Amino acid sequence: MSSRVRRALVGITAAVIAFLGLGQPASAHGFSSVVYVHITGGDGGRVRTVLELEYDLFVVSAADAEHDDPLFRAGTAAFEAEDARAQAAALESHADSAVTYVTGRFSVAAGGKACTPSRAGDITMGRREGVPYASLPLEWACPAEGGDREVRSTLFPDSEGYVRGTRTIATYDLTGLSGSAALDAGHPSFSISQSWYERFWEFFRLGAEHLLTGVDHILFLLALIAGSRRLREIVLAATSFTLAHSVTFLLAALGLVEAPERIVEPVIALSIAVVAGWHLLRLRRRDDVAALAGPAEQGPLGLDRAGWLRLGVVFCFGLVHGLGFAGALGIDEPWSWTLLWSLLVFNVGIEAVQLGIIVIVFPLLALLRHRAPRAGMWATGALCAGVAVMGSVWFVQRVLEG
C-alpha cells in the first residue's frame, strides 16, 4: 500500500467519523430532562405523590404559548428574573392548567383501575444542579378493592420540540414495599409490587442504553482499544477507566461531589481527542512496526514509563467521565440502600456494554495487527484520526456553548 493511499485512507476515515459525530448534539447529555417522583402511602388506601419538574420546561409545556397564554407570560417572566417566589406564584395562579397538564401524562392505578387525583398542597420551588424545579404534591383516591399499584409517566417531551427525551426517576415507600424505578418513553410504567429482578433490569437497561447512545463515551473507548497493542494493555486501561468513573459516578450521584456541566462536558470531549492523539503520536515512531510485533516491555505489570503515564491519563479522564454518567442518570436523592442498589446496577449496565465493545473490537484489531502489522498500524491510525477530529470539534463546540 503506497503512502499516498494510506494518507487517503486516514483522511477518509477521519472525515466519516467526524461526519457521523456532527449529527450528534455537542453535549452528549443535553436536551433531556429528568422528572423526580416520590410516592408514599396515605390513609384509607390513598396514594400521595410529589412530582418535581424542570420549571421552564413545565411552563412551556403546560401553557399555550402560541395564543399568548397568561401562564406562559407570567412563567417566562419569572424564569428570566430568576425569582423563585415569582415562579411559584406564576404556577399557583394558574394551578388548574399545571395540574391538568401533569395528570394528563402521569397516572396512578390500583388493580387495573385509575385512581382519581387531587391537589395535596401548594406548588413550591427548589433547585437541582442549579436548575429551577417546581414541586407539585398530589393525592390519589384509589378504588376500594385495591390491588397492585401501577405508576405511569409520559411527561415530556411535548410540542416544545427541543427536548430529546425525559427520564422519570421514581422512589416509593408504600404498603410495606420500598424501592426505585426508572421510566422513559420505551418503558413508561412500573408496578409497585415489581420483583427485585424487574427493578434490576430497569436500571441495568438504563445504564446499557446510556453508553450505547453516548457517542462520546464510545469514541473514548474505541481510542483506548486502538491504542492498546496487547490484551494486557486494554485490560489495564479498561480497568483503570472503570475504577475511576465508578468512583466519581457514585460520589456525584450520592451528592458528595459536584462539578458543573459546562466544565465536565468539554473535558470529556478533550479526553477523546487526547487519548486518540496519543496513539497517533506513537505511530510516528520509526520503530512502531517493530513495536507492534511485540518487543518485551519492562516495569511492573509489563508496562514501561510511557505505558504507566497513559494509564494515569486514562484514570484521570475516567474520573471526569464518571461525573458525566451521574449527570445523565439524574438521581439526586438522600442516601439509602435502595439508592445505592440502583446506582450500582446502572453502573453494571454501563460496564456490560463496555466489555461487549472490547470483546468485539479488540480481537479484530489484534488479528489484523498479527497478520499484517503495517496494515493494522494504518487501520488504528485512521480510526484514531477520526476520533481525534471529532473530539476536538466537540471540545470547541462545548466550550463555546458553555
- Cis ω before 300 (30° cut-off from 0): no
For 296-310, what is the mean pLDDT? 68
Average pLDDT across the chain, whole number: 79
The pLDDT of residue 138 is above 80:
yes
pTM higher than 0.75: no
pLDDT tens string 342-392: 778 888 888 899 899 999 988 988 888 888 877 777 888 888 888 888 889
The pLDDT of residue 82 is above 60:
yes
The pLDDT of residue 210 is above 90:
no
For 226-231, what is the mean pLDDT? 83
For 172-187, what is the mean pLDDT? 79
Q: Where are the beta strands (DSSP E) in 142-193?
A: 149-153, 165-174, 177-183, 189-191
For 25-32, what is the mean pLDDT? 50
Q: Pick 68 or 306 by higher pLDDT.
A: 306
CA-nearest of 27, 25, 23, 87 to 57 is: 87
Distance CA 50, CA 329 (A): 19
Give the pLDDT band (50/70/90) at residue 30: very low
Q: Which of the listed ranges 208-212, 213-217, 281-285, 391-395 does the model predict with the highest average pLDDT?
A: 391-395
